[in-house]
Structure formats: C-alpha cells, structure tokens
C-alpha cells in the first residue's frame, strides 16, 4: 500500500508560514535540493490544499524555476497533483485534478492503487484534516533555524492528540533538521 507523506518546512516555533504567508525564511541550499529531488523521485502524486496549490501553480511553471531547478521543476510540473478545495471551480496547472467531496474516500482509494508514495507539500488545512482522519503514514518535519514569532501553524486547534514515533533524523550543515515521524496506531 502506498504511503501518504507530509514534507513541510517548519520554523523552530512551529509555523509553516509567516503571518502574511511569508516563506522567505526557508533555507534552500544544495543539501535541501538533494533531499527534495530524492523525495520527489520517491513519489508519483502530490496533494495540495487550495492556498498551497495556487502558490505552487503560480511559481513552478514559470521560466525562472525551470532554469534554476530544472529537475525539481520538471517533477513539480509533471507529477499528478490532486487539489482538495471546496472553493475552486477548476485547476489549470498541468496534471492537476480538483476534488471537492469525498476527500477521505479519494485518499484511501489512492493509497490502494499501485505506484509510488504520495506527498503533501505545505497545505496545513489538509495536513490537519488528514491527521484527524488518521490517514497520514509519515511526517517529515523540516525544522529551519528561525523563530518567526507568529504565523500559520501546520495543525489546527481542533485536532485530537496523536502519538508519533521518531524513525529518523537528518541534519544539514545549514542547521536545518528533518525529523521523520510515523503515527503509532
């Protein structure tokens, strides 16, 4: 069965974006790009909520990321993307599919299909919803050496307590640390 993996940047104080959605604090260097390339090679589907989808769809198809990060841009543009949104009417970024209803059923069917793993990038709203539904198999929390003081959290306040097991740790020379967790069922 395919795994649902969350791979998200987080500040030391637990935010995935600044108060106005800022992401300028992400440490993106060669080590991180190597991680990102490996991670994208291990998946064949990306899941997004509306906000992250719109941000990614406005960035990755542009000439600059294609020139600066051709491998990652190729994966981001080429991989199938599923967007969970009740407010969007359509999705236009290549290989994107919109899902408005039956979210849990859609994800469970995806997990049963043959293929590589599935990743959620950003998308705090669906990370929270899927965590509450107990359908996430691995959390990769990419802690950046920054304290934001305020911002958007990865999990909403109505989430039930979940117990996780640390399965791996990777440390980069930049001070970024990736913590790998699996839920304890």
Going along the chain from its start, the domains and CATH numbers come out as 4-8+18-183 (3.40.430.10)
Looking at residue 145, its pLDDT comes to 97
Q: What is the pLDDT of residues 23-76, one digit of tens each?
A: 999 999 999 999 999 999 999 999 999 999 999 999 999 999 999 999 999 999
Are 5 and 120 spatial neighbours (Cβ–Cβ below 8 Å)?
yes
For 161, left (φ over 0), alpha (ψ -120 to 50), or beta? Answer: beta
What pTM was estimated for this model as a whole?
0.94
Q: Say if residue 157's pLDDT is above 80.
A: no
Looking at residue 12, its pLDDT comes to 95
Give the H/E segment covering residue 170: strand 164-171
Q: With cut-offs at 50, 70 and 90, classify the pLDDT of residue 180.
A: very high
Taking residues 92-99, report their average pLDDT: 96
Tokens of 169: 């740790």
Q: What percent of the chain has pLDDT over 90?
A: 89
Q: Can you tell me the distance from the alpha carbon of 81 to that of 43, in angstroms, rounded to the nearest whole number? A: 11
């Amino acid at each position: 069965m395919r795994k649902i993996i969350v791979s998200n940047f987080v500040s030391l104080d637990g935010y995935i974006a600044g108060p106005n959605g800022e992401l300028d604090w992400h440490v993106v260097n060669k080590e991180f790009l190597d991680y990102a390339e490996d991670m994208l090679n291990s998946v064949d589907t990306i899941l997004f909520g509306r906000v992250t989808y719109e941000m990614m769809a406005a960035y990755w198809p542009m000439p600059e990321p294609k020139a600066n990060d051709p491998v990652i841009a190729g994966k981001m543009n080429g991989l199938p993307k599923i967007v969970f949104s009740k407010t969007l009417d359509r999705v236009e970024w290549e290989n994107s599919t919109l899902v408005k209803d039956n979210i849990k059923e859609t994800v469970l069917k995806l997990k049963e299909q043959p293929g590589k793993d599935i990743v959620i990038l950003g998308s705090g709203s669906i990370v929270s919803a899927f965590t509450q539904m107990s359908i996430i198999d691995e959390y990769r929390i990419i802690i950046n050496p920054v304290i934001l003081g305020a911002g958007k959290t990865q999990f909403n306040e109505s989430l039930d307590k979940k117990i996780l097991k640390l399965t791996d740790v990777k440390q980069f020379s930049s001070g970024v640390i990736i913590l790998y967790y699996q839920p304890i069922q």
